[in-house]
Chains A and B, each alone.
Chain A
Amino acid sequence: MKAKKTLPNELLIVRGMLVLSLLGLGISIYLTAVHYTETPLVCLGTSGCETVNRSAYSEVAGIAVALLGAGAYLAILGLLGAEAYTLIQRQTAGLNVFGIALAGMLYSAYLTYVEIFLLRAICSWCVISALIMTAIFALALVRLRLIAIS
């Protein structure tokens, strides 16, 4: 299969995903650092960041949920980077980013449910990350559509 050239619209989408992933990565690294140290967490607007980030739900099998988030954003960046350097094909990158963003979005939705109904505390950073992941998913979906019709 010959490699298709990236369309102008698609380039915009990829750049959008890059910027969003970097933002998400920044937030996740911050939340991870705060989780594993005893520094207080600066919360945007709400007051529940500490409660959420230190709750029983903030770790899965001993790994901080924030660290999982950082891993997901890093993986997306890695895939897009590998594609830019033609290490992997456009469709492979598109599909994998789609998969990671879908998983990230679904898991974020679950975590937001936990915040609202189980912890009764909202962590604004976590909500922002959930929105970023949702936006990346939307872009990844549009991109798959472009890949399909091109």
Chain B
Amino acid sequence: MKHSFLPQDLLYQQALAAHESELVRVAAGYERDPAKRPDLLQDIHLAIWRSMAVFKEQCSLRTWVYRVAHNVGATHVQRNMRPAERNHTDLDALALHIDESTDVACSDRQLDFARVMQFIHSLGPLDREVMLLYLEGIDAATSSDITGLSVRNIATKIHRIKHLLGTMFNSEGNHHE
């Protein structure tokens, strides 16, 4: 039996066709445990489908999809963290403790990826969203539309994030030499 699509369904389909891979990465950015990511991804899909009922091109489809996905991701983190985890690390206080027992068989690229992932998961919701948008190659103006932060604030945050990442990779590089 052929399913008849409503306009909301068609918009959801369009959003998924264009951004499915990004959504998988958003879920990875907000859920540490790979086994739980499919559930978060399903929640993100559900939210995007629901939101399409009121999408009237207030912004581009991409901006809308990113807004919904990050809003669901941040809520997921906020609802699932234990009380002790409520104090996120902010950029000022960020001190990285990369696990030194990392599997030696991992390739450098896998190690780099694990470090980036660990860095992302240590950030608070707002810094995390800015970081994920930066990694997706979203420009500052669009990031500002998605987050509600000013372009200047986005640029400052990205600058600090890049600086911290640079420090992290340099110190890890020295550590392994």
Partners in one complex: no
Contact residues of A with B, CB < 8 Å?
Answer: none
Contact residues of B with A, CB < 8 Å?
Answer: none
